Amino acid sequence: MDDFVVGIDVGTTKICTLVARVEPDDSLRIMGVGVEPAEGIRKGVIVDLTAASQSIGRSIAQAEQTSGVKIETALVSLAGAHVASINSRGVVAVAGHTVEDSDIERAMDSARSVAIPNSREVIHVIQRGFSLDGQDGIHQPIGMHGYRLEVEAHVITAATATAENLRQAVGAAGVRVAQFVLKPLASAEVVLTDTERNMGAIVCDIGGGTTDLAIYVNGDVWHTMVLAVGGNNITQDIAHGLRLPLSQAEEVKKLHGHSVQAEIGMDEAFNILPFGAETPMRMSRRDLSLIIEARVEEMFELALQEIKRSGYDGLLPAGMILTGGTSLLPGIRQSASKVLGMPVRTAQPDKLLGLADKLNSPAYATGVGLLTWAAALQSLPISYRDGPQKRRSVQKGDGENWNTVKNLIKRLLP
């Protein structure tokens, strides 16, 4: 089991369990895949524990069968409207004359100790810049002289009860949650290039039930948001507008959907069988795209509001990287670009070995991102892998290794 990494993406439409082996060149060889329709999950959150546990269990069993690996622990994705994030500052007096690791650790502890109610748990604390004696914009303060060290941190929290339900549902299949990873952060590991990360960009994973956003500036996560809208809303609008059962609306969306009406010819049409009709009727594809266009633009307007509220709207020259199943909708890139006024590209997992064919879709960005995250964690000293509670027992290694480790820790640990 130790040579393998496992990720379970608990989505609103599908549960995806992936088992991979990390090759010597750090590429991932996919050994097992278990994709099952999700049940008992709405807008990223468990609403029926039994149904959710069963579908998670089936997905895990399938991944175990294909890989021949008994899964004991896994990284599990988390999202939903209960996720909140706040920016926090940790301030400490520098103990010696120069900043040392222990000062940074104390500053992070101080940032982490923001007042968080008992009903919430911390999922990630991401450090993203320091200031020393009031001088902002310091990336790496170690060894610098100063008296007062401040760290700027992004603290992501989740409702304890909701996270606990997910832990229990995964636990029912005999698998321990090693760590929750916020969905957009996992997706970003797969779709974001280093250049985009450094220049400033926003990752947007639109699934069935949620739209997960993460803003990167200067190489670090600056803001995260989870919106409770997704592709299911588009399907519902089509079902209402054309009076179709949801399953037919979903099919119509995937076969004929487009989010830019102006791109569709006047005479393009397809057949549907609405409620109450005895024979199929012709439906204009332009009319369908009008329904979709309205919803898709509204979704990006919502995203834009959130981006503006975060204060980083002017800092994203690399634009938006769209992923998630809904990014397969024709026209969506244009719609996003029109509403947001920034460059937009779509992305999906690539450079995978083994059983990877099925995973070459943006719907699997989060699942594969969990594997990338797990692989990076596995390269850390063993005592780092389980989260912050064990951090203090770690001894510093030799210089160069330790720096790599610290960079990883900065990105990965809660």
- The residue ranges that bind ligand ATP (CB under 6 A) are 11-14, 38, 44, 207-210, 230-232, 235, 250, 253-254, 257, 324-326, 328-329, 363
157 binding partner (options Mg ion, ligand ATP, none; Cβ < 5 to 8 Å by kind): none
Interacting positions 169-228 with Mg ion (CB under 5 A)? 207
Residues 350-409 that bind Mg ion (CB under 5 A): 366
Determine the Cα–Cα distance for residues 5 and 251; give it in Å rounded to an integer.
34
Q: Which does 250 bind (CB under 5 to 8 A by kind): ligand ATP, Mg ion, none?
A: ligand ATP
If contact means CB under 5 to 8 A according to the sort of partner, which of ligand ATP, Mg ion, none does residue 141 touch? none
Tell me the C-alpha distance between 124 and 101, whole Å.
19
**Among ligand ATP, Mg ion, none, partner that 231 touches (CB below 5 to 8 angstroms by kind):** ligand ATP
Nearer CB in complex with Mg ion: 11/80: 11
| Minimum distance from residue 240 beta carbon to ligand ATP (Å) | 16
Residue 310: contacted member of ligand ATP, Mg ion, none (CB under 5 to 8 Å, by partner type): none
Q: Which partner, ligand ATP, Mg ion, none, binds residue 363 by CB below 5 to 8 Å per kind? A: ligand ATP
- Count of residues near Mg ion by CB under 5 A: 3
CB of 254 to ligand ATP, least distance (A): 4
Choice between 163 and 288, CB closer to Mg ion: 163
Number of residue whose CB is nearest ligand ATP: 325
- Does 11 bind Mg ion (CB under 5 A)? Our answer is yes
Query: Toward ligand ATP, which CB reaches closer, 69 or 158?
Result: 158
Between 69 and 188, whose beta carbon lies closer to Mg ion? 188
CB of 203 to Mg ion, least distance (A): 12
Which among ligand ATP, Mg ion, none contacts residue 209 (Cβ within 5 to 8 A by kind)? ligand ATP
Closer CB to Mg ion, 40 or 207, in the complex:
207
Q: Are 44 and 209 in contact (CB under 8 A)?
A: yes
Q: Verify binding: residue 80, Mg ion, rule CB under 5 A.
A: no
Contacts of 321 by beta carbon, 8 Å cutoff, 6+ apart: 188, 191, 192, 196, 201, 202, 203, 204, 344, 345, 346, 347
User: In the bound complex, what is the minimum distance in angstroms from residue 151's beta carbon to ligand ATP?
Assistant: 31
44 binds, among Mg ion, ligand ATP, none (CB under 5 to 8 A by kind): ligand ATP
Task: Give the C-alpha separation, 338 to 300, whole Å.
Answer: 9
Per rule CB under 5 A, is residue 44 in the interface with Mg ion? no
Query: Closest distance between ligand ATP and the C-beta of residue 285, in Å?
Result: 14
309: Cβ contacts below 8 Å, ≥ 6 apart:
none
Amino acid at 238: I
Q: In the bound complex, what is the minimum distance in angstroms from residue 83's beta carbon to ligand ATP?
A: 12
Interaction partner, residue 70 (Mg ion, ligand ATP, none; CB < 5-8 Å by kind): none
Between 129 and 208, whose beta carbon lies closer to Mg ion?
208
CB burial string 194-218: b at 16+ within 10 A, e below: eebbebbbbbbbbbbbbbbbbbbbe
* Smallest distance from ligand ATP to CB 61, Å: 19
Q: Which two tokens stand for residue 257?
A: 């959907």
Q: If contact means CB under 5 to 8 A according to the sort of partner, which of ligand ATP, Mg ion, none does residue 257 touch?
A: ligand ATP
User: Least distance to Mg ion from the beta carbon of 213, Å?
Assistant: 13
CB of 411 to ligand ATP, least distance (A): 22
Q: What residues line the site for Mg ion (CB under 5 A)?
A: 11, 207, 366
